[in-house]
Amino acid sequence: MFLDLHAHSKKKNVFAYGCHDMSDPFSTREFPYLLSKLSENDFLFSYCRFTRLTGRDTSQKGCKEGTARVFLYDVLRIPNVFTIENSYCSAKNSVYHYDKASYDLIGGDILRAISLYFSPTFRSS
């Protein structure tokens, strides 16, 4: 797994960007979906985007060929390569700005999701 943590100035809340695997689209969405279910601190799966504009599409608006996410996905060929974006400001519909404690809580959500995702019992049921 590779997580590139960023702050976002326009969208509120916390969300992920991932690559789209045409042969197995679920594989690149599984971890962010799990994180959204475990998160009590503003991670929204509905804000996540899974696209991949590369190669001949590099002239298109939104091409992410030069990002760590796309580069590592191409090199490693693993589904779990994400950019996690967190608002500089706050959650949607909140009047309170994020502070250090807010970021600590979100980090805890991410760590819990990683722990569960890689748990030997996660997929056995």
Catalogue the active-site residues: 85
Residue holding tokens 């990002």? 67
Q: Which of 112, 108, 86, 111 is nearest to 97 (CA)?
A: 86
Beta-strand runs (E) in 79-124: 81-87
From CA 92, how far away is CA 124, in angstroms rounded?
Answer: 35
Element (H, E) at 108: helix 100-117
Q: Which two tokens mark 3?
A: 């997580």
